[in-house]
Amino acid sequence: MNEVLQIIKSRRSIRNFTEQQIKEEDLRAILEAGQYAPSGIGNQPWHFIVVQNQELLGALSDASKQVAKNHKIEFFRKLADNKEFHAFHKAPTVVIIAGDEQTPCSPADCAAATQNILLAAEALGLGACWINYGLFVFDGEESVHYKKLLNIPAGFRPFYSVALGYRKGEVPKAAPRKENVINFI
């Protein structure tokens, strides 16, 4: 099977990481892959924020849990009440993908960049997980504080984040794929 197709099919969301920090050369390759994502009209409206400070990641997690306590989805509210839950699964590195709010396709473009980051991590043998929970903080009262702390450019909004690190434990099996999701016309 083609190597790219194999990477796509073998990638899994990893939520259990070792404490070991990822190599800088791997991180740079992953970020470069994100930059090569397609974007509407070639705008490339993304900005990547790399966080490797565990204290800051813990604060982002706690602040997001505070916002999630009032979320309309019960699952998110339950996670907010779980003292053991860490939004970023204690990954050694988290990449926040922010997008220019004035660019109409920014959410889709940033999603494409996020997928490239996930696939690059898999290609390099790293574990990764696409996480949105840890960004609930940007819907709350502390949004301005954390945008400033993370040096997020003015006019940019954090859309997605990816936890990165070395896998700890077994790689989960793929869930069965849904059937009847394709129409040929």
Residue 31 covered by a domain: yes
Whether the Cβ atoms of residue 135 and residue 96 lie closer than 8 Å to each other:
yes
Residue 49 covered by a domain: yes
Tally of domains within the chain: 1
Res 144: pLDDT = 95
- What tens digit of pLDDT does each residue of 143-164 get? 999 999 999 999 999 999 999 9
- What tens digit of pLDDT does each residue of 59-105 get? 999 999 999 999 999 999 999 999 999 999 999 999 999 999 999 99
What's the distance, CA 36 to chain centroid? 17
Task: Calculate the alpha carbon distances from 134 to 62, 80, 103, 131, 157 in Å.
Answer: 8, 11, 23, 7, 14
Q: Can you give the residue range of the structural domain that contains 158?
A: 11-165
Residue 174 covered by a domain: no
Distance CA 127, CA 15 (A): 8
Residue 62 covered by a domain: yes
Residue 6 covered by a domain: no
CATH number of the domain that residue 151 is part of: 3.40.109.10
Residue % of the chain over a pLDDT of 70? 100
Residue 4 covered by a domain: no
Res 63: pLDDT = 95
pTM of the model: 0.95
Residue 99 covered by a domain: yes
Residue 85 covered by a domain: yes
Q: Is the pLDDT of residue 170 over 90?
A: no
Task: Calculate the alpha carbon distances from 113 to 85, 90, 118, 171 in Å.
Answer: 27, 22, 9, 23
